[in-house]
Structure 1
Amino acid sequence: MDSNLFEVVNFPIVLIYFINLTKSYFLMQTTKDRDVIEGKSHELEEQKLRQEVKAAGLVSVVPQILDVASRITGMGFTAIARVTDTRWIACGVNDKINFGMKAGDELIIAETFCTRVRTHNAPIIIEDVPNDAIYCDHAIPAQYGFKSYISVPIRLPDGEFFGTLCALDPEPAKIDRSEIIGMFDLFSKLIGLHIHAAIQLENAEDSLLREKQGAELREQFIAVLGHDLKNPLGAIQGSADILSKLDQSPKSTTFIEIIKDSCKRMNSLIEDILDFARGRLGEGIVINGKCEKDLEAAVNKAITEIKVANPAHEIRVKHEIDEPVYCDQPRLLQVVSNLLANAVAYGENKTPIWVETQTNKEFFILKVKNQGKKISDELMPILFNPYCRGDKSRDGLGLGLYISSEIAKAHKGVLTVTSDDQETCFCFTISLRRPV
């Protein structure tokens, strides 16, 4: 037989085989995924149930309520239970008759009256089982050996059924009275309010803890990422520096300069990321301060770098520095660069940017002013938050103002802003002397 014909004849069979095999695999995988999802769902439900039981057990008034209910009714066992359609779990117990139950223990739901209380949303009251028309022959009283019993529903403020407040005793008890029923009803409402508050507090604390752990993990990742990026960037920068010293064509020289400029920009972004991580992880931005006697020249150098990068913008400078300033000079120049970059980005192109520095008897003050659109009232309260940008379409991470503010705090100073339709002014103020 021709081999090609054999292949043609058998190909549909092979194809059908693989289709069926694939279907079987996906069916198996779907079943497995469904089992995993159902398992996770059951795990979450169990966790939520245990959390509710724990919250109810921590309510401080529960022991007193159970004790008062026992004393007034004369019944030896009182309890609060979390009741669902399938579970009965004791949250709080007052046991004077050695019933043998403690908080956290469970009963089989079908072997309690609480399903009926839950379903009908009404109390069950039995003063004397042998003489009760409804429950005299019921199996549950005989199983647990009680003659008197009361159980009332506990509902949370939103109307959700939580469980029951119940009491029982091996002897008859006069409990089918309005004052006893009213007391149990009042207690159940009070317990519902306290349990609701405890659950809300527990949820808030868990949510806060998860958020804190998530934030710490994110920020640690950012810090590690920043450090890991610096190594390859340093290699690129070093290679570009070596190439620039060799004989190159004009075109190659242009590309080398582009690489070096990109490295500087990338390094600046990495430093911003690292500063952000330092500020958020609790370490804070660390300053290495010393007494600077020629701060004016250093500030002018930082301004020149911005001028070279943005030749279309006019930057006017006014210095009145008459005193030495205790500061971390590189960090202060970082503030100058960040504030100027912000002014260039958001100021009017045809109007000058003003940089003013001055000292008085107590403070060094740096102001950067630009004309342009007023900062919105919505943006003002969050302007110094990380990742805050007035224009989302612009380049950058939105960390410059946040880092500048953190640098001010590290100097025990402050960075403020005022903005109206005529002018926006950022003011960086620190003490002339070393902070105590």
Structure 2
Amino acid sequence: MHSLAGKRIVLGVSGGIAAYKAAALTSKLTQAGALVHVILTESAMQFVQPLTFQALSHLPVYTDTFTEPDPHVISHIELADKADLIVVAPATANIIGKMANGIADDMLTTTILATKVPVMVAPAMNVNMYGHPAVAANMDRLTEYGYQFVEPGVGLLACGWIGKGRLAEPEEIVEAVAAFFEKKSASLKEQDLAGKHVLVTAGPTREKIDPIRYITNHASGKMGYAIAEAARDRGAMVTLVSGPTTLEQPAGVKFVPVESVQEMFDAVMENLPESDIVIKSAAVSDYRPKTVQEHKMKKGDGPLVLELDKAPDILKTVGERKTKQFVVGFAAETQDVIKHAQAKIERKNLDMIVANNVLTEGAGMGSDTNVVTLLTRFGEQLALDKLSKRAVAEKILDAVLLKLSQRALSELS
């Protein structure tokens, strides 16, 4: 689960049938540690009662601009000033029109008009309403104001129409909120990797058996791509050597697509001399077919024996050849995780290793989260809770920079 601990989120709920999903959204944001202040419009209360949101958020729910329980503050100004983010979900065509045109005639719209914090909008309405030029123009205006949108889904709507207009699922909105805070956190960091060359490997490799078949693994590349993007955003010059994935190529990095272990080995060695930091998150085949068949192998009656040779050990070779480089490896294990990771640090001459048990919920290949422990060659350990892969990437880079600064101080002394 994403950590939103201490984040103050104002959740505006307007009057659509999707208001029931806002209850689940309130629950998930609260479980992630956020302080969720819910504002219901008068129409929203026709669908869901304030008590529902109070029970889920454990905080008072606001419904009326003129109800002021604390005489020392004006409620909508207090919320507008103290919020870290305002989320409007569901956002009907009506509330979108009000926001776009500066109308402030209820608790929600007065709070939005008074705030200086970012506003995230999750539209939900009939497909024809969503496509109406007036609604489109209002959303364009809000985009110009800097509002962010969580796109609605496509499917069967409550009105019976099929099309775009259903509210994004609560999990998707939570992802968008978490991404907002992660991006904000990254932008607040100094460009602490400026001038550094970071070499990252990601994804699986494929070892051909014949023109049709190959050996591979379940790696998605998500962790490596997150590291590359985080390093780029912190000012680094990034080279991303990637095996085959379905991910979009990150902008602003040198992208080197490869397929086999040998291709990845060659690309890494070519880029190693200019690199300051090497983070090898790719899941590379340890073995490859001894012989690649020229034509498709035909199925026989008996068992098939496939003879394999050891593939080049990229990480070990980097450890042998490194000069100034700080080298980080990954250890994806299913048992005795720390023991195997510690042994790998020594065996491959690493500076740090990122270890995880792929059988742990939220830590498997292909997931959007990870649960890892960072270990250094000096025996230090840092266990992280389940975080998004981008958040894990930031923690890895923080740890690398800390060790590099310590290394620099020791060299001076």
Report the TM-score range of the alignment, normalised by the length of the smaller protein: under 0.3
Question: Comparing both chains, which one has the higher relative contact order based on Cα–Cα distances under 8 Å and sequence gaps of 6 or more?
Answer: 2
Q: TM-score, normalised by structure 2?
A: 0.21
TM-score (norm 1): 0.20
Larger CA Rg, structure 1 vs 2: 1
Question: Could you say which structure has the higher helix fraction?
Answer: 1
